[in-house]
């Protein structure tokens, strides 16, 4: 199949920032891209060849869009899987496969998948409704503290809450959910595994994630993670085992906890480019976005080694600001060595909305982390 400067069409479900960054590389390769997205304001609109308006959860919209492309991929998991399954039956190549997405879309199914495949994860209970949790606690079947997670549609701090008392259960939506043991951990780590159609696999170096205490969003991604080689090897092995269990095609970001006694437990996975891999654009030989394209088109995978230490800072909307976005002090951070801002193109900001990221590269990782802190304290995402 000739993908380059040809009639081949790559379809992407979702028009957000991950799609926009995938398009950096489809542009580089001159691959014709079609986007399906519900918002006319989507970041992808300026960079794709064809922009189609439609609801990613609507069967007809996804099915009709899929019929017009040769290979279909995603930049967000919340898509209509029934439509993908029918497209696969009709010979459209869908990566990741509908089967993989069906498991990953539901956190309860995802956790059961780890148990079935002997993959290490924190103990949990599943509930059809949040309201059942209270009774289970009263009967001694569950103890505080635990982490409540909505089974579906939770991401970036939504649909997740640490529950320490009955008070914390108030106001949670009454939906299918899991209650997961609260794991005392030293580090949150992530490994991105790339796997192409032929089964060739490569892993990116382990990263460490520092979280914002209130927003439950990643503040810094640090690569390489500041962990021992032994722990890094363990994390990599578990990520590869997870990838083999899913037999996914594309990227699989495996988020993990490093416990107090250096055990590795899987937190959750994402079958697409991931926030923990944004730094690869500047700091690795092959970015995660280029690698995703290579994997789903069954091209040889690129080298994943880091060229230099990298730290990524998420740019999120400041609290108390909603409306037309203004990036305050962006020129100041651009004076700093090794600093590259990526602005996603969302015109409206609101508190904690992901609006961009900044990568800091430096041969000394501790220096990169210091500059990252300076960047974070300098640039502000506010409104007019």
| Dihedral of alpha carbons 334, 349, 276, 62, sign | negative
Annotated binding site: 107, 149, 180-183, 188, 267-268
Is the confidence at residue 166, as pLDDT, over 70? yes
* Statement: residue 341 has pLDDT above 70: yes
Per-residue pLDDT, averaged over 340-366, amounts to 96
259, 183 contact by CB (below 8 A): yes
Q: Please report the domains of the chain, with CATH numbers, ordered by start residue.
A: 9-94 (3.40.50.20), 123-181 (3.30.1490.20), 185-383 (3.30.470.20)
Taking all residues of the chain, what is their mean pLDDT, rounded to a whole number?
96
Answer whether residue 157 shows pLDDT above 70.
Answer: no
Q: Enumerate the known binding-site residues for ATP.
A: 107, 149, 180-183, 188, 267-268
Q: What confidence category does residue 158 fall into, taking pLDDT thresholds of 50, 70 and 90?
A: confident
**Predicted TM-score of the model (pTM):** 0.96
Grouping H, G, I as helix, E, B as strand and the rest as coil, residue 164 is coil
Kindly tell me the sign of the dihedral angle through the C-alpha atoms of 35, 41, 42, 48: positive
**Is pLDDT above 80 for 217?**
no
Which of 82, 113, 111 minimizes the C-alpha distance to 246? 113
C-alpha dihedral (272, 276, 277, 283), degrees to nearest 10: 180
Q: Facing residues of 146 across strands? A: 163, 181
What's residue 225's pLDDT? 97
Is 90 exceeded by the pLDDT of residue 187? yes
- The model's confidence at residue 211, banded by pLDDT at 50, 70 and 90, is confident
Per-residue pLDDT, 155: 63
**pLDDT at position 204 over 70:** yes
pLDDT digits (tens, 9 = 90+) for 117-142: 999 999 999 999 999 999 999 999 99
pLDDT at 156 over 90: no
What digits encode the pLDDT tens for the residues 329-340? 999 999 999 999
pLDDT tens digit string along 55-89?
999 999 999 999 999 999 999 999 999 999 999 99
Mean pLDDT along residues 13-32:
98
Return the DSSP state at 141.
S
Compute the average pLDDT of residues 43-54.
Answer: 97
């Amino acid at each position: 199949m000739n993908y380059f400067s040809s009639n081949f069409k790559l379809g992407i479900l979702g028009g957000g920032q991950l799609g926009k960054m995938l398009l950096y590389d489809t542009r580089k390769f001159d691959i014709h891209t079609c986007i399906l997205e519900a918002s006319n304001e989507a970041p992808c609109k300026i960079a794709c060849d064809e922009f189609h308006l439609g609801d990613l959860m609507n069967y007809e919209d996804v099915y009709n869009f899929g019929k017009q492309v040769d290979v279909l991929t995603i930049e967000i998991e919340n898509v209509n899987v029934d439509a993908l399954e029918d497209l696969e039956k009709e010979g459209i190549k869908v990566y990741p496969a509908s089967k993989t997405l069906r498991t990953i879309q539901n956190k309860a199914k995802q956790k059961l998948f780890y148990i079935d495949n002997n993959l290490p994860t924190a103990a949990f209970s599943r509930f059809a409704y949040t309201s059942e949790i209270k009774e289970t606690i009263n009967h001694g079947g569950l103890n505080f503290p635990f982490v409540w997670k909505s089974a579906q549609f939770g991401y970036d701090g939504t649909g997740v809450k640490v529950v320490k008392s009955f008070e914390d259960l108030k106001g949670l939506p009454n939906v299918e959910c899991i209650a997961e043991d609260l794991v005392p951990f030293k580090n949150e780590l992530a490994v991105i595994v790339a796997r192409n159609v032929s089964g060739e696999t490569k892993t990116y170096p382990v990263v460490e994630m520092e979280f914002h205490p209130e927003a439950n969003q990643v503040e810094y991604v640090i690569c390489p993670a500041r962990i021992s080689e032994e722990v890094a090897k363990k994390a990599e092995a578990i990520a590869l085992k997870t990838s083999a269990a899913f037999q996914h095609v594309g990227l699989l970001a495996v988020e993990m906890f490093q416990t107090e006694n250096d055990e590795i437990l899987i937190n959750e996975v994402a079958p697409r480019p991931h926030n923990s891999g944004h730094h690869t654009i500047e700091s690795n030989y092959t970015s995660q976005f280029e690698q995703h394209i290579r994997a789903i088109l069954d091209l040889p995978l690129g080298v994943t080694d880091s060229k230099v230490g990298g730290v990524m800072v998420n740019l999120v909307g400041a609290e108390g600001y909603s409306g037309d976005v203004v990036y305050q002090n962006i020129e100041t951070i651009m004076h700093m060595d090794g600093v590259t801002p990526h602005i996603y193109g969302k015109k409206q900001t609101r508190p904690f909305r992901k609006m961009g990221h900044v990568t800091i590269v430096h041969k000394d990782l501790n220096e990169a982390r210091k500059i990252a802190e300076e960047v974070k304290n300098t640039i502000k995402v506010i409104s007019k």
